[in-house]
Amino acid sequence: MELFGKTRAKLAALVAAAAVALAACATTASEEPSDGGQHGGEAPLKVGFVADAAGLNDRSFNYLGNEGMKRAEEELGVEIRVLTSDSSADYIPNMTTLARQGYDLIIASGFNQIEAVATVSSEFPETKFAILDVSVASLDEVNPNVMGLPFQQDQASYLAGYLAALFLQESGEGDALGAVGGQPIPPVENWMDGFARGVAAVDPSIRVISGYSQTFADPAACMQLAQNQIEQGAKIVFQVAGGCGPGALNAAAEAGVWAIGTDADQSDFGEHVLTSAIKRSDVAVYETIRALLDGEFFGGQDRLFTIVDGAVGLGTFSPHVSEELRAKVAEAEAALRAELAG
């Protein structure tokens, strides 16, 4: 059973040649890496991180990226600086500040920083840039000092949708699920697509009511959207909206329905969160820094992060998820891994 054939085709168009080669989170590059710079015995490698407007307390993508930075500082001995952004207007100034201060690598936290990365990387060609959750194929012009760090997040959301459909069947509570997206950008659409396919693999008759809040930073917007979906019959709400997403999780709790988190493990929102579809930006940040210390930086290309190396997957299960359902999800994950290995 080919679970991800169509998705691979879509993802290949998005990440160009990146998705073909990486089954074990090896770099997708086909050329020799540029010299990452040797820092042994010299000043430590300097790495900057620019969070987006959702902030470091989004309990999601920015939070995890910052955790990866702190781990690199502690374990790899690099010098770090993390800059927050009040709005998108801060992205270019923040990156420019880090570049002028001589940071060797600047990591941008996501899709909304594409234009800023393109602008500042052109102005500072000797500085290396990496952008999370983005393929270089998404850039209008690919500079040789920019590396994409995309995820195959639909692997995690497929499993989340699979679990949601199984849980709905077991509980007999209804025939509809909700999906709350932030903005309709490629990574979010990929999340939503994977979720819908996971649901359909169990029961194609289950409805998935989806919509976009148009923000990653306003929990009230996601709460309202989730409430609308719940009113339409959604018994489980899957959120894919960064710092906006907690609003959807809280709406589910207030309405007495179930939810599924995203990016980070969001089980701490309560037992109504069945699980979380995790995309570990901390893994991508740490591994990119570690590779640079080893002299590897694949400018103008991607490194794709997948379920194989633990960069995507499911988080903690709610105690309300039966052992039988957990076993079925484990079987689906094993089938997915086997397909990737083949």
pLDDT digits (tens, 9 = 90+) for 158-196: 999 999 999 999 999 999 999 999 999 988 999 999 999
Find the range with the poorest average confidence among 95-99, 140-144, 248-252, 312-316.
140-144
**% the chain with pLDDT above 90:** 78
In whole angstroms, give the CA distance from residue 236 to residue 256: 10
CB 176 within 8 A of CB 230: no
In this predicted structure, what is the pLDDT of residue 42?
74
| 33: Cα within 13 Å, side-chain hemisphere | 20
Q: Are residues 179 and 42 in the same domain?
A: no
More confident: 35 or 320:
320
- pLDDT at residue 32 above 80? no
Q: Are residues 175 and 78 in the same domain?
A: no
> What tens digit of pLDDT does each residue of 36-78 get?
444 545 789 999 999 999 899 887 889 999 999 999 999 999 9
Q: Are residues 138 and 88 in the same domain?
A: yes
Q: Are residues 320 and 229 in the same domain?
A: yes
Q: Are residues 140 and 184 in the same domain?
A: no
Q: Which two tokens stand for residue 152?
A: 């195959």
Q: Are residues 231 and 295 in the same domain?
A: no
Tell me the mean pLDDT in the region 94-113.
97
- pLDDT at residue 104 above 80? yes
Q: Are residues 141 and 26 in the same domain?
A: yes
CATH number of the structural domain spanning residue 42: 3.40.50.2300
- pLDDT at residue 207 above 80? yes
pTM (2 decimals)? 0.82
Find the range with the poorest average confidence among 135-139, 155-159, 194-198.
135-139
Residue 108's CB: how many other CB atoms inside 10 A?
29
N residues, the chain: 342
In this predicted structure, what is the pLDDT of residue 101?
98
Tell me the mean pLDDT in the region 243-264.
96
- pLDDT at residue 92 above 60? yes
Q: Are residues 185 and 332 in the same domain?
A: yes
Which residue pairs from 229-235 have beta carbons closer than 8 angstroms and sit at least 24 positions apart in sequence?
A: 229/178, 229/179, 229/180, 230/178, 230/255, 230/257, 232/176, 232/178, 233/174, 233/175, 233/176, 233/207, 233/209, 234/174, 234/176, 234/177, 234/178, 234/209, 235/168, 235/171, 235/173, 235/174, 235/176, 235/177
Give the model's confidence band at 4: pLDDT under 50 very low, under 70 low, under 90 confident, else very high.
low
Tell me the mean pLDDT in the region 204-212.
98
- pLDDT at residue 5 above 60? no
Q: Could you give the strand order of the β-sheet that contains 146-149, starting from the edge strand earlier in sequence?
A: 79-83, 46-50, 105-108, 128-132, 146-149
Q: Are residues 65 and 172 in the same domain?
A: no
Q: Are residues 178 and 253 in the same domain?
A: yes
Tell me the mean pLDDT in the region 73-93.
97
In whole angstroms, give the CA distance from residue 87 to residue 68: 23
Tell me the mean pLDDT in the region 30-40.
43
> What tens digit of pLDDT does each residue of 10-19 get?
444 444 333 3
More confident: 112 or 177:
177
| Residue ranges making up the domain that contains 328 | 154-278+311-341
Burial of 205 (0-12, 13-18, 19+ CB in 10 A): exposed
- pLDDT at residue 133 above 70? yes
In this predicted structure, what is the pLDDT of residue 309?
85
Which residue pairs from 110-116 have beta carbons closer than 8 angstroms and sit at least 24 positions apart in sequence?
A: 110/52, 110/61, 110/134, 110/187, 111/138, 111/185, 111/186, 111/187, 112/52, 112/53, 112/88, 112/183, 112/185, 112/216, 113/50, 113/52, 114/138, 114/139, 115/91, 116/50, 116/88, 116/91, 116/92
Q: Are residues 18 and 70 in the same domain?
A: yes
Find the range with the poorest average confidence among 102-106, 109-113, 290-294.
109-113
Q: How many domains does the chain have?
A: 2
Tell me the mean pLDDT in the region 4-31.
38
Query: For 141-167, b where at least 16 C-beta lie within 10 A, e where not — what string?
Result: ebbebbbbbbbbbbbbbbbbbbbbbbb
Find the range with the poorest average confidence among 9-13, 142-146, 229-233.
9-13
226, containing H or E segment: helix 219-231
- Alpha carbon 225 to its chain centroid, in Å, reads 21
> What tens digit of pLDDT does each residue of 289-301 get?
999 999 999 999 9
Q: Are residues 270 and 296 in the same domain?
A: no
